[in-house]
């Protein structure tokens, strides 16, 4: 083989013992072992399969052994070229690392409102474990290894499980895997117990004051969450086009609502004042009077650090809020010469439960509370939801104004050291 040299044209040397086995020599002298075969009889076209270049690891003996293996596949009606292409497709297109994008573009973006969160989750622990493993080769044991990464985080474990289950079911439905490793017999992680954390009036006042120290964007985000009882992403991804400054209303579009139903949120004066201040902040005019009338922008995101995408880094934002609350509590305790109170752990979503509980304390009807929270269960679900079409708009406005006054009272009652009260609307 080594004695064969370039002749200026491509030519072949065929083995006289093993049919179809040969050596291809290019015009420049490059040598590769090949296997030439027909699949389907003499009437079919000849196909040529490249085994590999001459040299390590392909010697005449190792290449001949590989050719024998390929000839057995052909005898069974299996095309080696197609098998090789499928193997390469699995290694590239069906690698878990690459399939995340395929699944995100083909399914998540079209069907999951929180698709970006699901994609980020897939790129964390699951990608760390599965890496570039082909989807058809991922087993139940692999999924167990992924879920083990979420020990002590039951809520995230359930989200990861449901996302992966949908991902593999989607791949199975497209014929890209034979069977999902997360079948019906695969036990889902245990359900997370329903949370019951409600912030006390003192904690709520402390959270408000702490949020006021954070600045844009997280400070006003947290204060709006407290006033409106909205969901975190509903506020964090708020657009100016959803807001009507003249009527003082926020219309959450159906494509951003969790229940796919558009939702009108009447804005109390305190909420309008916060948005006024955000609009002033975005003008970047340091010499402008702090309480002058301002017109809200018509387009764009209310809370963004890039100008193109909604604000992110919510975990870090919550950590900053917690730290500010602790600092303010230690400051208060030092002045009162007493031991600082311990602030129990809480989550941003607990603000909605706190507001709903506060509505009850203020004597607000349950139906109105459900309308403010944009729930379709309870008083607005089932048959009642079909026939009861009142939108509770006026009642929602009255309730949210009462809640804002309650918050204002809490803040003002806490005023013992440089505590700023809630700002009232400045009329144009």
219-248: pLDDT as tens digits: 999 999 999 999 999 999 999 999 999 999
Q: Which residues pair with 14 in a beta bridge?
A: 22
Are 266 and 400 within one domain?
Answer: yes
What mean pLDDT, rounded, does the chain reach? 87
Residue 129 and residue 268 share a domain: no
Q: Is residue 210 part of a domain?
A: yes
pLDDT at 176 over 90: no
For residue 180, tell me if it sits in a domain. Answer: no
User: Among residues 52, 78, 104, which one ends one of the domains?
Assistant: 78
Does residue 219 fall inside a structural domain? yes
For residues 122-126, give the mean pLDDT: 93
Tell me whether residue 191 is in a domain: no
Structure tokens, 96: 């878990």
Of 174, 192, 209, at which residue does a domain stop?
A: 174
What is the arithmetic mean of pLDDT over 141-146?
95
Domain with 334 in it: what CATH number? 1.10.443.10
pLDDT of residue 389 exceeding 60: no
Same domain, 229 and 367: yes
Please state, in angstroms and rounded to a whole number, the distance separating the CA atoms of residues 375 and 369. Answer: 9
Span 351-365, pLDDT tens digits: 999 999 999 999 999
127: number of Cβ within 10 Å: 15
Let me know if 202 is exposed, middle or buried by CB neighbors in 10 A (0-12, 13-18, 19+): middle
Q: What is the pLDDT of residue 91?
A: 66
Would you place residue 422 in the very low, low, confident or very high pLDDT band (cuts 50, 70, 90)?
very low
pLDDT score for 89: 65
Q: Is residue 3 part of a domain?
A: no
What CA dihedral angle connects 87, 88, 90 and 95, to 10 degrees? 140
The answer to whether position 88 is within a domain reads: no
Number of domains in the chain: 3
Q: Are residues 322 and 224 in the same domain?
A: yes
Distance CA 366, CA 355 (A): 12
Q: What is the pLDDT of residue 290?
A: 63
The whole-number pLDDT of residue 67 equals 93
Return the CATH number at 68: 3.30.160.390
341 and 221 fall within a common domain: yes
* Torsion of Cα atoms, 395 then 218 then 424 then 415, to 10°: 110
For the chain, give the percent of residues with pLDDT over 90. 62
Asked whether residue 189 is assigned to any structural domain, the reply reads: no
Res 387: pLDDT: 45
Average pLDDT estimate for 398-404: 96
Same structural domain, 304 and 227: yes
Q: How confident is the model at residue 386 (pLDDT cuts 50, 70, 90)?
A: very low
pLDDT tens-place string over residues 294-338: 899 999 999 999 999 999 899 999 999 999 999 999 999 999 999
In Å, how far from its chain's centre is CA 67? 48
Residue 166: CATH number of its domain: 1.10.150
pTM, full prediction: 0.63
251 and 378 both lie in a single domain: yes
249 and 152 belong to one structural domain: no
Q: Which residue among 36, 52, 78 closes a domain?
A: 78
- The verdict on 56 and 101 lying in the same domain is no
300 in a structural domain: yes
Based on the fold, state whether residues 223 and 155 are members of the same structural domain.
no
HSE, CB side, 13 Å, CA atoms: give it for residue 348. 24
On whether both 66 and 100 belong to a single domain, the answer is no
Pair (74, 103) in one structural domain: no
| Domain limits for position 46 | 11-78
- pLDDT tens digits, residue range 251-303? 999 888 888 889 999 999 999 999 999 998 887 555 666 666 789 999 999 99
């Amino acid at each position: 083989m080594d004695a064969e040299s370039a002749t200026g044209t491509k030519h072949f040397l065929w083995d006289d013992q093993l049919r179809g086995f040969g050596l291809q020599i290019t015009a420049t002298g490059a040598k590769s072992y090949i296997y030439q075969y027909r699949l389907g009889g003499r009437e079919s076209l000849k196909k040529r399969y490249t085994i590999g270049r001459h040299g390590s690891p392909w010697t005449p003996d190792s290449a001949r052994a590989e050719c024998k293996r390929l000839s057995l596949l052909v005898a069974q009606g299996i095309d080696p070229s197609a098998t090789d292409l499928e193997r390469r497709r699995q290694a590239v297109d069906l690698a878990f690392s690459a399939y995340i994008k395929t699944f995100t573009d083909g399914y998540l973006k079209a069907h999951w409102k929180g698709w970006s969160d699901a994609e980020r989750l897939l790129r964390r622990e699951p990608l760390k474990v599965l890496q570039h493993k082909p989807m058809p080769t991922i087993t139940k044991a692999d999924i167990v290894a992924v879920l083990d990464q979420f020990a002590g985080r039951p809520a995230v474990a359930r989200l990861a499980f449901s996302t992966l289950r949908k991902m593999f079911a989607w791949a199975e439905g497209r014929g890209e895997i034979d069977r999902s490793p997360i079948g019906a017999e695969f036990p889902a992680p245990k359900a997370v117990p329903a949370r019951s954390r409600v912030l006390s009036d003192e904690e709520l006042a402390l959270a408000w004051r702490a949020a006021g120290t954070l600045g844009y964007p997280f400070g006003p985000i947290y204060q709006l969450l407290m006033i409106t009882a909205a969901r975190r992403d509903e506020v964090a991804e708020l657009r100016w086009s959803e807001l009507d400054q003249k009527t003082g209303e926020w219309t959450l579009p159906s494509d951003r609502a969790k229940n796919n139903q558009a939702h009108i949120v009447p804005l109390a004066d305190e909420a309008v004042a916060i948005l006024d201040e955000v609009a002033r902040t975005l003008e970047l005019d340091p010499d402008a009077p702090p309480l002058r009338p301002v017109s809200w922008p018509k387009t764009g995101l209310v809370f963004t650090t890039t100008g193109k995408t909604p604000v992110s880094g919510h975990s870090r934002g919550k950590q900053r809020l917690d730290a500010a609350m602790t600092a303010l509590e230690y400051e208060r305790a030092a002045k009162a010469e007493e031991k600082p109170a311990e602030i129990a752990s809480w989550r941003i979503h607990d603000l909605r439960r706190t507001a709903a509980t506060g509505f009850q304390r203020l004597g607000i009807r349950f139906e109105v509370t459900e309308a403010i929270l944009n729930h379709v269960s309870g008083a607005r679900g089932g048959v009642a939801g079909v026939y009861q079409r009142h939108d509770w708009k006026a009642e929602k406005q009255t309730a949210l104004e009462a809640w804002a006054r309650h918050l204002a009272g809490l803040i003002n009652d806490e005023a013992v050291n440089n505590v700023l009260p809630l700002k009232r609307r400045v009329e144009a």
